[in-house]
């Protein structure tokens, strides 16, 4: 089982990201589960969403306390206490940031992956919504699902021009991270 926690702000597509990831897993025949930790509706508020992907059915409905991976959709959230809580020792952190990797790792004091997802989204979608770029990078890093599964999930949510742009975006984003870097961690926990 792989557990992912996604931190973002309202309006960045945090919950959609979680749903897309779980949908991609389900469409590939795995068990997938995604849900937000909810608060009142509000743009800009910190939001957290959880994803579980497993080879067997999971029946639990508790929050993810010990994620294998963290996806941080907004660099500024790194200042929020508790954002990194519970991350497993070998766990991976993917951050949406314009900082380069060494600066990011210096700030965090540990290994992490930096992706300028907002910039990529602006370039491809014309809107600063970083979620699909981050998901693509995540899949490239973990290689836990084929990219076409994400494309399929996107196809259920978007149509026409927006879908086309998203498909190009995920291709571009996947190139920007070291492919398979987290593959062993993903396999060890076992999807």
Report the interhelical angle of 131-142 vs 147-157 (nearest 10°). Answer: 160
Q: Tokens for 168?
A: 């190009």
> Would you count residue 158 as binding other proteins (CB under 8 A)?
no
The length of the chain is 191
Q: Which of residues 86-145 bind other proteins (CB under 8 A)?
A: none
Compute and round to an integer the Cα radius of gyration of the chain. 15
Applying CB under 8 A, which of residues 27, 88, 101, 151 lies at the interface with other proteins? 27
Q: Which of 17, 70, 129, 153 binds other proteins (CB under 8 A)?
A: 153
List the one residue out of 59, 72, 85, 58 whose CA is nearest residue 1.
58
Where does this chain touch other proteins (CB under 8 A) — which range of 31-39, 102-110, 113-121, 130-138? 31-39
Site string for other proteins, 43-72 (x = CB under 8 A): xxx------------xxxxxx-x-------
Instruction: Tell whether residue 146 is a contact of other proteins (CB under 8 A).
Output: no
Mind giving me the DSSP string for 94-163?
A: EEE-SS-HHHHHHHHTS--EEE-HHHHHHHHHSS---HHHHHHHHHHHH--S-HHHHHHHHHHH--HHHH
Please say which residue, 31 or 158, places its beta carbon nearer to other proteins: 31
> Does 159 sit near other proteins (CB under 8 A)?
no
Q: State the angle between helix axes of 131-142 and 14-27 in degrees (0 to 180), rounded to the nearest 10.
A: 40
Site for other proteins (CB under 8 A): which residue of 9, 31, 151, 162?
A: 31
Residue nearer to other proteins on the CB measure, 42 or 110: 42
CA distance 43 to 59: 32
Cα–Cα nearest to 71, from 138, 129, 23, 171: 138
Part of the chain binding other proteins (CB under 8 A), chosen from 25-33, 87-95, 96-104, 169-177: 25-33
Residue 8 binding other proteins, by CB under 8 A:
no
Counting residues that bind other proteins (by CB under 8 A) gives 27
Tell me if 23 contacts other proteins by CB under 8 A: yes
List interacting residues with other proteins (CB under 8 A).
18-19, 22-23, 26-27, 31-36, 38, 40-45, 58-63, 65, 153
């Amino acid at each position: 089982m792989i557990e992912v926690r996604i931190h973002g702000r309202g309006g960045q597509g945090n919950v959609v990201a979680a749903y897309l990831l779980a949908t991609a897993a389900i469409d590939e025949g795995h068990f997938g589960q995604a849900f937000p930790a909810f608060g009142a509706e509000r743009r800009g508020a910190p939001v957290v969403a959880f994803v579980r992907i497993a080879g067997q059915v999971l029946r639990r409905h508790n929050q993810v306390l010990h994620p294998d991976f963290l996806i941080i959709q907004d660099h500024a959230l790194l200042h929020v206490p508790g954002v990194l809580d519970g991350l497993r020792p070998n766990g991976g952190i993917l951050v949406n940031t314009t900082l380069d990797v060494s600066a990011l790792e210096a700030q965090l004091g540990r290994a992490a992956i930096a992706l300028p997802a907002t910039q990529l989204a602006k370039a491809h979608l014309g809107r600063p919504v970083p979620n699909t770029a981050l998901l693509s990078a995540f899949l490239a890093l973990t290689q836990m699902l084929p990219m076409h599964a994400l494309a399929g999930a996107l196809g259920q949510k978007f149509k026409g021009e927006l879908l086309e742009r998203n498909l190009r975006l995920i291709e571009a984003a996947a190139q920007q991270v070291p492919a398979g870097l987290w593959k062993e961690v993903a396999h060890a926990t076992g999807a």
